[in-house]
Amino acid sequence: MRNYLILFLLLFATISFATNSLAIYPFSSPQQQQRFQQLTYQLRCLVCQNQNLAESDASLAADLRTQIAEKIRAGASDQEIIQYLVARYGDFVLYQPPVMQSTYLLWFGPFVLLLIGLAILMLRIRYLNKKSNSMNLTIEKEQHLERLLRNE
Amino acid sequence: MFKKIRRIIFFIPFLTFLFIALFFWHGLSLNPQLLPSPFINKPAPNFYLSSLSQPQEKFTNKIFLGHVTLLNVFATWCESCAEEHPFLVDLANQKIRIIGLDYKDQRAAALAYLAKYGNPYQLVLFDSTGNAAINWGVYGTPETFVIDAKGIVRYKQIGAIDEISWQQNILPIIKKYHA
């Protein structure tokens, strides 16, 4: 039990370590600090592509973090900073790809597939309904069936 | 009529599988490390850098005007750059104009490196902070840009240039823009 408690507490140790690394980039206000955190979490590191700029240890990521911090201090908006990076590195720096011609399939493909699936389902339901309707007995046949069942 | 539709419906899962498989198969052949540069067919980004050998001399993107140029981003700490280096020396001997961009390096180390392995560069720009390279969208050395005589970026090679990439990708671009 005590071991589990220690393991549990150790989880928090790593978290506080991660936030500590942000102290290298001092800001005058908590809002600026928060914007920096949000921006670096939503931008991709070009070197280790599965990491964002906040978490990457690559030297390029550190340089870009420094530039982003400087720009936030100088009063640049989030949009301006994102534009700055996209102009240099392309849309790949964004984890969320913008909606444009080359990404239509990515954005709308799933909905198209969903519509196709719904259409097939509707057709199928309609077909089965028709089939079961055509199997309904006429009144005379139903009476005949009843008589048979009563053994008349 | 319905039988026909039914037969088609039976094939839908198979066709869907085929479509998705082809899609992913194509994805496998793409190298995610090769990112298209947003500067292709755009003017070369500007900079204000000193030369490696003459710290007091400053250069801007005007150095590209008048010649088709290769801008090779390298560093002495970069292993693939060292692998690429002899090929660049060969190119320089074939009168290809190469300008170097020494990325996050020590001046003395870079000068010693060029003295030891030969200097293929007509000029080496010294970017000790790496900020000029960021303006060029550099994310890993070596990278080489082909810039035409009007200062427009025409191609970007990511990773070392070798005989294959030279013959297939870079030389045709140089020939195309060679006035």
Separation in Å, CA of A31 to nearest CA in chain B: 27
Contact B35 A46 (CB under 8 A): yes
Alpha-carbon span A66 to A85, nearest angstrom: 13
Task: Collect all residues from A whose CB is shorter than 8 A from any CB in B.
Answer: 46-47, 49, 59-60, 63-64, 67, 86-90, 92, 120, 123-124, 127
Contact A63 B131 (CB under 8 A): yes
Quote the tokens at residue B13.
């899962």
What pLDDT is stored for residue A22 in this prediction?
54
Residues 6+ apart with CB under 8 A from B177: B68, B146, B148, B149, B154
The β-bridge partners of B143 are B73, B158
- Report phi then psi at A30, rounded to 5: -65, -30
What pLDDT is stored for residue A14 in this prediction?
60
Show residues of chain A in contact with B33, CB under 8 Å.
49
Contact B135 A127 (CB under 8 A): no
Asked if residue A11 has pLDDT above 80, the reply is no
Looking at residues B158-172, what average pLDDT do you find?
95
Residues B152, B41: contact at Cβ < 8 Å? yes
What pLDDT is stored for residue A20 in this prediction?
46
Alpha-carbon span A29 to A41, nearest angstrom: 19
Does residue B43 belong to the interface with chain A, where contact is any CB pair within 8 Å?
no
Contact B135 A88 (CB under 8 A): yes
| pLDDT tens-digit readout, B100-136 | 999 999 999 999 999 999 999 999 999 999 999 999 9
Asked if residue B175 has pLDDT above 90, the reply is yes
- Across chain B, what does the average pLDDT equal? 93
3-state secondary structure chain A: CHHHHHHHHHHHHHHHHHHHHHHHCCCCCHHHHHHHHHHHHHEECCCCCCCECCCCCCHHHHHHHHHHHHHHHCCCCHHHHHHHHHHHHCHHHECCCCCCHHHHHHHHHHHHHHHHHHHHHHHHHHHHHHHHHHCCCCHHHHHHHHHHHCCC
Residue of B nearest to A46 (CA): B139
Give me the amino acid identity at B128: S
Separation in Å, CA of A47 to nearest CA in chain B: 6
**Count of CB atoms situated within 10 Å of the CB of A64:** 26
The HSE-up count of residue B150 (CA atoms within 13 Å, CB side) is 7
Alpha-carbon span A119 to A125, nearest angstrom: 10
What pLDDT is stored for residue B152 in this prediction?
96
For residues A5 and B129, which has the higher predicted lDDT (pLDDT)? Answer: B129
SS3 B127: strand
Contact A90 B130 (CB under 8 A): no
Does residue B15 belong to the interface with chain A, where contact is any CB pair within 8 Å?
no
| pLDDT tens-digit readout, A126-140 | 988 888 777 667 788
**Which pTM value belongs to this model?**
0.77
C-alpha distances (whole Å) from B127 to each of A61, B15, B73, B138, B170 are: 17, 54, 10, 12, 24
Asked if residue B5 has pLDDT above 80, the reply is no
Contact B38 A86 (CB under 8 A): yes
Contact A88 B38 (CB under 8 A): yes
Show residues of chain B in contact with A87, CB under 8 Å.
38
Contact B35 A92 (CB under 8 A): yes
The β-bridge partners of A44 are A52
Does residue B86 belong to the interface with chain A, where contact is any CB pair within 8 Å?
no
Show residues of chain A in contact with B129, CB under 8 Å.
63
Show residues of chain B in contact with A43, CB under 8 Å.
none
Does residue B30 belong to the interface with chain A, where contact is any CB pair within 8 Å?
no
Going B80 to B84 to B86 to B92, the CA torsion angle's sign is: negative
Looking at residues A122-151, what average pLDDT do you find?
83
What pLDDT is stored for residue A6 in this prediction?
83
